[in-house]
Amino acid sequence: MAHMHYEYETYLADLKNVLDHLPVEQARRAAEILFRAYRTDHTVFLFGNGGSAALASHMAADLGKATHFPGPEWLAPVKRLKAFSVSDNTPLITAWANDTHYENVFASQMENFIQAGDVALGISGSGNSPNVLQAFELARRKGAVTIGLGGCGGGKMKALLDCPIIVPSSNMQKVEDAHLILAHMIFLDLKQRIENEARADLEASERQQSLSVS
């Protein structure tokens, strides 16, 4: 009996095709939304399930820490983006799930903090995770901006998004691969915007000091 072998080459060929058609302009728009939240001192809430929960944590680390460090020393005192993942708090997640319903685990945490002008960034390969949908519904009621990383056509999530970033694939592993790449592009774009503004402010301050001395 012949044994079947998994085709690595087929996976990579399919993934390359997905990457060639990523929604790059929507990713750029997401970076603009995050930069606006940064400039206006608003908060970014990230959430997802399973692998998407891991990416929410990863993005929170990139957006909150790696936008500043490692980087040039003069960037260290510049204000940080307020970003955190509501997928990370195990006691609160289990409390809300146990005492009410699992679909409440993100929205119920966010309800304590979210305000108009904040950003809700959810990740769902299917676009149909009830707890992700409920978090977006709360965000819209509160006047927050909604960004979603999705796939499989966007699912029910797409209708709740101000900025849908939908990977053109229905293969969950390739959707998740693409989500990480998109997340890194958004983060690097935001980092550059923060550096550009900080550099401009520093140069303006140095010019002002030079004029006052002269």
- pTM equals 0.94
Beta strands in 29-115, from DSSP E residues, in sequence order:
43-48, 82-85
pLDDT digits (tens, 9 = 90+) for 178-195: 999 999 999 999 999 999
Other CB atoms within 10 Å distance of the CB of residue 90: 8
What is the C-alpha separation between 52 and 152, in angstroms, rounded?
14
What is the C-alpha separation between 66 and 51, in angstroms, rounded?
21
150: phi then psi, degrees, rounded to nearest 5: -135, -170
pLDDT digits (tens, 9 = 90+) for 151-169: 999 999 999 999 999 999 9
User: CA-based angle 158:162:164, to the nearest 5?
Assistant: 45
Q: Which helix (H) or strand (E) holds 96?
A: helix 90-99
Q: How far apart are the first and last CA of the chain?
A: 88
What is the C-alpha separation between 176 and 50, in angstroms, rounded?
11
For the CA atoms of 51, 55, 57, 62, the dihedral, rounded to the nearest 10 degrees, stands at 160
Q: Which CATH architecture has domain 22-213?
A: 3-Layer(aba) Sandwich (3.40)
SS3 content of the chain, % helix, strand, coil (to 5): 60, 10, 30
83: phi then psi, degrees, rounded to nearest 5: -140, 135
Residue 195 exposed, middle or buried by CB count within 10 Å (0-12, 13-18, 19+): middle
Instruction: With CA atoms as reference, report the closest residue to 45 among 30, 56, 33.
Output: 56
Q: Cα–Cα distances in Å, from 183 out to 55, 69, 119, 176, 189?
A: 8, 17, 15, 10, 10
pLDDT digits (tens, 9 = 90+) for 34-85: 999 999 999 999 999 999 999 999 999 999 999 998 888 888 889 999 999 9
pLDDT band at 23 (very low <50, low <70, confident <90, very high): very high
pLDDT digits (tens, 9 = 90+) for 91-131: 999 999 999 999 999 999 999 999 999 999 999 999 999 99
Instruction: With CA atoms as reference, report the closest residue to 178 among 165, 188, 189.
Output: 165
Residue 17 in this model has a pLDDT that exceeds 80: yes
Residue 1 in this model has a pLDDT that exceeds 70: no
